[in-house]
Amino acid sequence: MQPPATVSILGVPIHNVTEDEAVTYLAALLRAGGPHQVVTTNPEFVMEAQHNTAFRAVLLKADLATPDGFGLILAARWLGTPLHGRATGVALVQRIAALAAEQGYRVFFLGAAPSVAAEAAAILQARYPALQVAGCFAGSPNPRHEPFLRQLLAAARPDVLFVAYGHPAQDLWIARNQPTLQIPLAMGVGGVFDYLSGRVPLAPAWLRRLGLEWLFRLIVQPRRWRRILVAVPLFLWAVWRHGRNE
């Protein structure tokens, strides 16, 4: 199966897929066998890639880079290369869990705070009773813990690995370890376990449709103001300047 076409935003390629198209392609990657890496790109990823060369290399090589943040939709439209839609991490984790339950794939939940991964897995298993949870573990993205985690995952034999260490740590961790692990589908999921477990509230659907998740996050998690500053005004300013210079 040919990979989807990409749209470049500030030098970072993003696959031009809707949520349904992303799931179809992910199903094909699972059938093909491993290893594959998926990133859910948002404006913070794009801004981080401007100065973090290792992270930029991971984004360039990802088997699927989905358009997560609403800011990417605005940026692509401004640059004259519109994206078809969004494929967010929260939605994709739920869709992949449904696919795994249907096809018998084993899923491992790695990262987040202690017990959060297990809570997220339990929520998904209640929703999709046939879901096979290969394991849940918090762990750490610190390279010194990698030998143990590789042994743990080798014993668990997952088909799908969700890694919730936040960017860029989770994506760099997957890139370092996939050559050994050879897991068919490994995906960085950021704060998805926190949302699924209910530890952090998800923005209402109407705010998500308007692309105002950032405002909701600022209200419920004001300590994120620096990240929101990077993801919203600084990102849009960088894109505007880039578009003017094209």
Taken in order 203, 204, 205, 207, is the CA torsion positive or negative? negative
Q: Identify the domain containing residue 56 by its residue range.
A: 6-197
Q: How far apart are CA 235 and CA 240, in angstroms?
A: 9
Higher local confidence (pLDDT), 195 or 245: 195
Share of the chain above pLDDT 90, in %: 75
Task: State the pLDDT at residue 137.
Answer: 98
Find out whether 29 and 64 touch, Cβ atoms under 8 Å.
yes
Residue 129 lies in a domain: yes
Task: State the pLDDT at residue 229.
Answer: 57
Task: State the pLDDT at residue 240.
Answer: 81
Residue 209 lies in a domain: no
Task: State the pLDDT at residue 4.
Answer: 94
With DSSP H G I counted as helix, E B as strand and the rest as coil, what are the percentages for the chain, rounded to 5? 55, 15, 30
Residue 225 lies in a domain: no
Share of the chain above pLDDT 70, in %: 88
Q: How confident is the model at residue 233 (pLDDT cuts 50, 70, 90)?
A: confident
User: Mean pLDDT throughout 181-190?
Assistant: 97
Dump pLDDT digits (tens) for 13-51.
999 999 999 999 999 999 998 899 999 999 999 999 999
Q: How far apart are CA 92 and CA 18, in angstroms?
A: 11
Q: How confident is the model at residue 236 (pLDDT cuts 50, 70, 90)?
A: confident
Task: State the pLDDT at residue 241.
Answer: 80
Residue 233 lies in a domain: no
- Give the domain CATH number at 35: 3.40.50.10700
Residue 128 lies in a domain: yes
Residue 216 confidence (pLDDT) above 70: no
Alpha carbon 237 to its chain's center = 24
Residue 36 lies in a domain: yes
Q: Which of 163, 32, 174, 164 is nearest to 105 (CA)?
A: 32
For the chain, what is the domain count?
A: 1
Residue 147 lies in a domain: yes
Residue 140 lies in a domain: yes
74-78, 169-173, 181-185: range with lowest mean pLDDT: 74-78
Task: State the pLDDT at residue 181.
Answer: 97
H/E stretch holding 102: helix 89-103
Task: Please tell me the pTM assigned to this model.
Answer: 0.89
